[in-house]
Amino acid sequence: EKAEALIKTLFDYFAHHPLSMPTEYESIYLSEGAERAACDYVAGMSDSYVLHVYNNLFIPKSWIGWDNL
């Protein structure tokens, strides 16, 4: 469930912010739409990259490292 929620959150984010994706997805966005580009981008992510991107977008930097307390 958690992994599915992360993927859906990233898909929704990039579908609504297509210019936040790497430039190589711009042609897909322009020809096939933001949802298709977001789908291709997120589908190509490794598990560790999904976590990296999610953390960069949604986790405040001040929270990183709190689990070590």
pLDDT of residue 24: 96
Confidence of residue 61 (pLDDT cuts 50, 70, 90): confident
Mean pLDDT of 48-63: 90
Cα Rg for the chain, rounded, in angstroms? 13
Output the six-digit token pair for 26.
Answer: 């711009």
pLDDT of residue 60: 82
| Helix axes of 47-58 and 2-16: crossing angle, nearest 10 degrees | 60
Output the six-digit token pair for 28.
Answer: 């897909």
d(CA 50, CA 48): 5
How many angstroms separate the Cα of 19 from the Cα of each of 1, 12, 36, 54, 65?
28, 13, 13, 16, 30
Residues 12-55 have pLDDT tens digits of 999 999 999 999 999 999 999 999 999 999 999 999 999 999 99
